[in-house]
Structure 1
Amino acid sequence: MPYRYTSPDEDSGRWADFPARPGDIVISTRSKHGTTWTQMICALLAFQTPNLPAPLPELSPWLDWLVVPQDEVFARLEAQTHRRFIKTHTPLDGIPIHPESRYIVAARHPLDAAVSLYHQGQNLDRDRIRELTGAPEPDQGDDPTPRKPLREWLVHWTEEEAEPREWLDSLQGVMLHLNDAWGRREEPNLLLVHYADLAADLEGEMRRIATWLDIEVEEGRWPELVKAATFGEMKAKAERLTPDPAGVMKSRDAFFRRGTSGSAAELLSDEELAAYTKRVEEMAPEALLEWLHRP
């Protein structure tokens, strides 16, 4: 049985009730690891046009997000006649694996993802999320703890001890997700995608994904499809692409903040980077770390 991951706004138990369809594409990533980018690529390949028929969060809903009721998510997916591509932040050991479905796990250098996660946290409307999920209000007598400056927060993120299955956005949680996918990398219905590869050779990666999904694209269509998946084009269409169907972000434009790698290396000292490296060496095999940390 899959492990059931739960949090105040997610429940992977929804997957147990979801009727899979042959050809379904499940995009499994940790937060800020290239989720929306991968969803956009799948959308462009599925529809073969940059002019998508609906906002991306409607075409590719986040199945286990409690902000949107389960019945609504399931009904939207049931009504779709195109090849479905579904978002989840749940590791693969938390969802049923169907032989006729395809699973894409997108990875990113954990430190760069953490920097993006920090900025994403500042862009969330916590009161709106509590309203939608039914979470309790904080005690009125409690003053909110001021958030640490980015560099201090990032150092703490690399050092803190966290239960990975409970804190999936911790360093331990990120490595749990990636370790699980890495161990399955030889399975024919799993594809690993790296953020750095998308940034370095977007067209090549899109062609690789299309081939793996058995999707044929007319040669003349590739230039416009690749252009539509670039950071600049996606940021320009933030209102239709940002994963915010329930209005929990303060700014949709801010979701597409930078789109590059290496920001963490600009913040941390050599000693702090070495301490991070020592920690992750205890969490994952050398081959995975070499793949994960390359430029």
Structure 2
Amino acid sequence: MEIPPRPALFDFHGVSMTKYFTDNWDNIQDFKARPDDILIASYPKAGNTWVSYILDLLYFSHVSPDRQEVVPLHERVPFLEFYMPGFPSGVDELNQSTTVPRIIKTHLPVQFLSKSFWEQNSKIVYVARNAKDSVVSFFHFDRMNKAQPEPGDWSSYLKRFMDGKMVFGSWYEHVKGWWEKQKSHPNILYLFYEDLIENTEEELDKLCSFLGLSPSSESKKQVMEKALFDNMKNNKMANGSADAVLDFKISPFMRKGKVGDWKNHFTVQQNEQFSEDYDKKMKDTDLQFRTVL
């Protein structure tokens, strides 16, 4: 299949986007959510795939065990705003889906989400990851994903991240926007990637209690085992290798899944500049992140 050239970044209602996430905009905005839908929202590279996989296991592993083996994760958990010629659009996939619940992925900032998710009071799980690991992971992702803008070199990429000139906009605005929203919306569960890594079982319990699930300790153990990073990385149905736009010769889609890998990328000076800028941008919020465990 012919992969089109990398898309350009442009300003879309104040947020940097590419055409692959805005070309179907009216249908995304008019999307009809259901009360039993479960939406997994995050800034890119924050653990969305991981939580999608966990939810898919919790809901469907006992119903159709072969689903895990034969259906790629991006088909099991459609990406709401995705719209690329030659691929089914996220909206179409969701409208044709017969599974209950529908598990849905999005990277949209909170102000862009289709209204019907709020009207239907659908459950939303937001996953947030610290900025330093996010930018490193996003950089490697953009290098290997032909459907993303050209990343350039690391230092210019870091600057672009600080300026919010990334697909789906500013990390700072994204995590803060969803954080503020969850204060008044009990149907949003806000999780941290770092907690998921450090206390997987505790966070899994939190997730289950939010969704009203009570899996047996045996099935919980199986979910945790299957959702281990290395097991997912080797699982062809979950690791992105079934996706034509990803170039694994450059970097794997699931690269390290660690907290603190930013230390291998930031120079001392970059770290100082980044931290100073970070404090300015985050001074108006009580949202706190950990960059090491």
- Give the alignment's TM-score, normalised by structure 2: 0.80
Match of 1:111 in 2: 132
What whole-Å deviation, never above 9, does each CA across 1:4-36 have from its counterpart, x for those lacking one? 965221025433222211111111111111110
Aligned partners of 2:283 and 2:266: how far apart in 1? 24
Cα distance per residue 1:121-140 (max 9 Å; x no partner)? 221235xx89xxxxxxxxxx
Q: CA RMSD in A?
A: 2.9
Aligned pairs (5 A) from 1:1-295:
6-11=17-22, 12-49=25-62, 51=65, 53=67, 54-67=71-84, 68-70=87-89, 73-95=91-113, 96=115, 97-125=118-146, 147-148=152-153, 150=154, 152-153=155-156, 155-157=158-160, 159=162, 161-162=163-164, 167-168=166-167, 173-186=170-183, 187-237=185-235, 239-243=236-240, 247-251=244-248, 254-285=252-283, 288-291=286-289, 293=291, 295=293
- Mapped contact 1:27–1:87 kept (Cα < 8 A): yes
C-alpha distance in structure 2 between counterparts of 1:77 and 1:216, whole Å: 28
What are the superposed Cα offsets for residues 249-276 of structure 1, whole Å, 9 maximum, x if unpaired? 1229811111101111233244432321
Q: Which ranges in structure 2 are unaligned for 5 or more consecutive residues?
A: 1-12
Label 1:114 to 1:240 Cα distance change in 2 as closer, same or farther (>3 A): same
Query: What is the alpha-carbon distance in structure 1 between the residues aligned to residue 210 and residue 286 of structure 2?
Result: 21
Q: Is the 8 A contact 1:30 1:89 kept in 2?
A: yes
8 A contact 1:61–1:86 mirrored in 2: yes
Residues 50 and 227 in structure 2, CA contact (< 8 A), matched pair in contact too: yes
Please state whether the residue corresponding to 2:245 is helix, strand or coil. coil
Q: Tell me, what secondary structure is at the counterpart of 1:278?
A: helix
CA distance in 1, matches of 2:284, 2:292: 12
Cα deviation, residue 217, structure 1: 0.7
- Which letter maps to 2:199? D
Cα distance change of structure 1 residues 293 and 260 upon mapping to structure 2, 3 Å threshold: closer
Percent identity of equivalent pairs = 22
- Alignment check: 8 A CA contact 2:164 2:171 kept: no
Whether contact under 8 Å (2:182, 2:189) holds in the other structure is: yes
Compute the TM-score of the two structures, normalised by the length of structure 1.
0.79
Deviation at 1:178, TM superposition (A): 0.7
Secondary structure at 1:216 match in 2: coil
Structure 1: how far apart are the matches of 2:151 and 2:97?
44
The answer to whether the Cα contact below 8 Å between 2:126 and 2:178 also exists between their aligned partners in 1 is yes
Confirm or deny: 8 A CA contact 1:34 1:195 kept in the other structure.
yes
Secondary structure of the residue that 1:87 maps to in structure 2? strand
Shift of the 205–169 alpha-carbon distance from structure 1 to 2, 3 Å rule, reads same
Q: Separation in 1 of the partners of 2:88 and 2:46?
A: 25
Runs of 5+ unmatched residues, structure 1: 131-144
Conserved 8 A contact 1:29-1:90: yes
Q: 1:52 to 1:22 in 2, by over 3 A?
A: farther
